Structure 1
């Protein structure tokens, strides 16, 4: 009953693994080693390796959940009991997690994905390379006798 699900899911992991390897020009073992040796050298590779690992982990959880469900279903009479139904819910949750992680990997691999070309993505890319705060964290000191900008005075008057 569930044999096709695992095969299809492994194909999804396999296809995404192949896409990652093609994108970075090395197999996953080499890519993991490169990211481990220099995690900040290529943030895209680091993100892909992280999420691929989470995807593989989610696939393992799903495989175990499916195996448990199949074993329980084989012992059931015509009606499914509550514990077996709980196993079915566990499989559904594992599928959702695996599919969500696969979507993230696909998004990371797609240079034209929504959100990657907009201003926020460009700002994020610039901020990744910075190490310190990006905005001033204290109020600037204004020497005594210096008036506040007129725009600040007008907005304070309007607020009254």
Structure 2
């Protein structure tokens, strides 16, 4: 859209698409094809492709909402009527959605983003085999059996 309301700002989708292509060393079409062929091969690429698609969808909704608002404003006298104000709210909601999705894509592309280090450590931990149970376990005590002395003493210290 060349006369759009948000054209004063950078083309968010275009800028992020360029960053994705630079990060993965291929154009977005090739990246989408690679992810479709093998989604588990690179979880980062799979996430970026998913969110890029959601961003593109949100940008399309925003473009349509802006077009509708501009058309309505061209036919308005000096003040906007309620239907035109509803269109303006639709544009605001579309901008919010688009910007939120753009933030997710930016976060996915930034290896030093807050939470990424913890996320990487968590992924590594899931890949490593465990040597034993995560929580110590013991056999259940049949009903009516007195609890061991250590448990009875613990109960007294809590009271």
1:121-160 deviation line (CA, Å, top 9, x unaligned)? 5114543x59xxxx779x7524778x7694x656543444
- Unaligned runs of 5+ residues in structure 2 are none
Aligned equivalent of 1:36: 36
**What is the DSSP-based 3-state SS (H/G/I as helix, E as strand, rest coil) of the residue aligned with 1:114?**
coil
1:16-60 deviation line (CA, Å, top 9, x unaligned)? 101101111111111001111111111000000000000000000
Is 1:64 aligned with 2:64? yes
1:60-98 deviation line (CA, Å, top 9, x unaligned)? 000000000000101110011001000000000000000
TM-score normalised by the chain length of structure 1: 0.80
- For 2:47 and 2:149, locate their aligned partners in 1 and report how far apart those are by CA, in whole Å: 44
Aligned equivalent of 2:111: 111
TM-score normalised by the chain length of structure 2: 0.80
Point out 4+ residue stretches in structure 1 off by more than 2 angstroms. 2-10, 124-127, 139-145, 147-150, 152-160
Is 1:141 aligned with 2:135? no
Identify if the C-alpha distance between structure 1 residues 14 and 102 changes in structure 2 by more than 3 Å, giving closer, same or farther.
same
Is 1:76 aligned with 2:76? yes
Maintained 8 Å contact 1:10/1:59: no
- Unaligned runs of 5+ residues in structure 1 are none
